Amino acid sequence: MQYTLGKEERLKSKKLIEQLFAEGKHVKSYPFRLIYLPINHGAKSLVKAGFAVPKRNVKLAVNRNRIKRLMREVYRKNKHSFTESLTEPYIFMFIYMAKDEINYVDLELSLKKVSAKLQTKIKEDKPSSI
């Protein structure tokens, strides 16, 4: 298992981001809101992820950038929990909803909760073939 978050694993395409916000589904676990969409994005990796911190919630750019760095690091270390049960390619957008900065440990716990909720929601969404 490689603990990397390379260029190919980051969600940068404007078209994909617009499509994600238009058609995507979401799960929440404070302070994260994860918007996801199963779509063939044409990359080797199974998941492309983006990270956002709204200016409305965190005013200073320094603080927004720090939170995004922490979010990327937490995702990088725990991305195996997202990809282990996926069979098709997905795009994700992690949105930070809190107004104040929280520490690394709490972010990691929240990300694991989001991962668990995502796994159950994906299983519910898939039609069972009986």
Domain residue ranges of the chain, discontinuous segments joined by +: 29-122
Residue 76 has a pLDDT of 94
Among 3-7, 8-12, 70-74, 101-105, the minimum mean pLDDT is found in 3-7
Containing 38, the helix (H) or strand (E) segment is strand 32-38
Does the global pTM surpass 0.95?
A: no
Q: Which band of pLDDT confidence, cut at 50, 70 and 90, is reported for residue 129?
A: very low
Helices then strands, each counted (H, E), the chain: 4, 4
Cα(23)–Cα(95) distance, integer angstroms: 16
Architecture of domain 29-122: 2-Layer Sandwich (3.30)
The Cα angle at residue 29 between residues 25 and 30, in degrees rounded to 5: 125
Q: What is the mean pLDDT of residues 58-70?
A: 95
Q: What are phi and psi of 106, to 5 degrees?
A: -65, -40
Cα(34)–Cα(116) distance, integer angstroms: 12
Residue 126 has a pLDDT of 76
3-class SS of residue 35: strand
Q: What is the mean pLDDT of residues 109-116?
A: 94
Q: What are phi and psi of 8, to 5 degrees?
A: -70, -20
